[in-house]
Amino acid sequence: MRQRLTYKNAGVDIREGDEFIRLIKPLARATYTKGVISGVGGFGASFEGRFEGMKDPVLVSSTDGVGTKLKIAFMADRHDTVGIDLVAMCVNDVATTGARPLFFLDYFAAGRLDKERASEVIKGIAKGCKEAGCALVGGETAEMPGIYKGGEYDLAGFTVGVVEKKKIIDGSKIKPGDKIIGLASSGLHSNGYSLARKLFFETLGHKLTDRPIGFKKTLGKELLTPTRIYVKTILAIAKHFEVKGRAHITGGGLTGNIPRCLPEGVKAVIREGSWTVPLIFRYIRDAGSVADTEMRRTFNLGIGMVMVVSRGAEAGIIKKLRSLDERPYSIGVVEKKRRTEEPVEFRKQERW
């Protein structure tokens, strides 16, 4: 007799999904801020838009994923850090405008839902939301047999923030003579992993448990180091200083992201050698014979966030950043740009 066809034997386990929601509800509730009216469990999350002291609030949104860094999580079977990356990629973006992230939603898709593994991912998302000061109000879990390989999943995130209209940072005030400050990254963050994976595991034949000469951590731990979340630092600086522009150094590296905060007619002149480039980037460059130009447009090279400030404000801002446990560097200056010049120029001081 033919077996009755069910959703479960077709590859989708509704009961596992229900149990997963039960497990993650406390994680989400622990991130709730006073604006949350309803969160995980309903068809939509409600957030009360009353912003004390703001006359003309503007909402700022961003969405992103983690990219092929997920492949490292699959290889290591470690899933508690990529959720932090997911939050960081979104909230750091909205924070560049001066916005305070309000709430966050995630999308988790897998061929087959493993509630324990998925819960580890959500733990990371909740941790990232707490670090950014925003609420995890909901998301979507999709089980799609035949789309994803066994044991693999994909992530996407979405956040909304708020900023007073007159305080929006758009780079329009940047002018020649302004200084460029870089905030240290924690490593690769969430970019360049397709190149890194090809080099480490195909070209060099490394394993995640390897620790190349000079590395303080195994390659697996190094590659799964979470993206830094700069939100609280950015908001703290904004209370005391004017920042004219900010750039989150993500896909496209220093070359591609710094111009996104610059107005027409100026260029950023970056002094190579003015900050400490982490060993992993030097290893990738040397072991893979990767050109400096390729490194700059693929990786953050140790700078995860850039601020453009007035010359007279630079020293005070750097001092304040250090008090916030950041590692800031004075990495360059803004100059007038000729029509034929690139928006970012790298001037070598020393080989990194």
- What pLDDT, on the 0 to 100 scale, is given for residue 110? 93
> Using 50, 70 and 90 to split pLDDT, how confident is the model at 22?
low
Query: What is the per-residue pLDDT for 45?
Result: 66
Domain boundaries, the chain: 14-167, 179-348
How sure is the predictor about 37, in pLDDT bands with cuts at 50, 70 and 90? low
**pLDDT, tens digit, 9 for 90 and up, residues 291-349:** 999 999 999 999 999 999 999 999 999 999 999 999 999 999 999 999 999 999 999 86
The reported pLDDT for the residue numbered 29 is 76
Report pLDDT for 40.
Answer: 63
Look at residue 34 in the predicted model and tell me its pLDDT.
78
Answer whether residue 46 shows pLDDT above 90.
Answer: no
Identify the pLDDT of residue 17. 59
pLDDT of residue 138: 85
pLDDT, greater one: 198 or 54: 198
Question: Do 179-348 and 14-167 have the same topology in CATH?
Answer: no
Reported as half-sphere exposure (CB side, CA atoms, 13 A), residue 122 has a value of 31
79-130 per-position pLDDT tens digit: 999 999 999 999 999 999 999 999 999 999 999 889 899 999 999 999 999 9
Alpha-carbon span 118 to 71, nearest angstrom: 15
pLDDT of residue 169: 95
Ranges 35-49, 94-108, 216-230, 291-305: which has the least confidence: 35-49
Q: What is the pLDDT of residue 155?
A: 96
pLDDT of residue 188: 97
The amino acid at 20: F
* pTM for this prediction: 0.91
Q: Which CATH architecture has domain 14-167?
A: 2-Layer Sandwich (3.30)
Give the residue-averaged pLDDT of 187-215.
Answer: 96
CB 301 within 8 A of CB 293: no
Radius of gyration for the chain, computed over Cα atoms and rounded to the nearest angstrom: 22
- Give me the chain's average pLDDT, please: 90
Confidence of residue 19 (pLDDT cuts 50, 70, 90): low
Domain covering 179-348, topology: Phosphoribosyl-aminoimidazole Synthetase; Chain A, domain 2 (3.90.650)
The answer to whether residue 352 scores a pLDDT higher than 60 is no
Dump pLDDT digits (tens) for 82-94. 999 999 999 999 9
Q: Which pLDDT band, with edges at 50, 70 and 90, does 178 fall under?
A: very high
Q: Which residue has the tokens 């620790």?
A: 211
Confidence of residue 1 (pLDDT cuts 50, 70, 90): low
Helix axes 231-238, 314-323, angle to 10 degrees: 130
For 177-189, what is the mean pLDDT? 98
**Residue 248 · residue 98 · CB < 8 Å:** no
Joined tokens for residue 119: 């819960």
Buried b (16+ CB within 10 A) or exposed e, 245-284: bbbbbbbbbbbbbbbebbeeebbbbbbbebbebbbbbbbb
Cite the DSSP H helix spans in the chain: 14-29, 69-76, 82-95, 115-132, 193-197, 219-223, 231-238, 253-257, 279-287, 292-298, 314-323
Write down the pLDDT at residue 42: 61
Q: State yes or no: pLDDT of 260 exceeds 80.
A: yes
Asked if pLDDT for residue 351 goes beyond 60, the answer is: no
pLDDT exceeds 90 at position 43: no
What per-residue confidence (pLDDT) applies to 322?
97
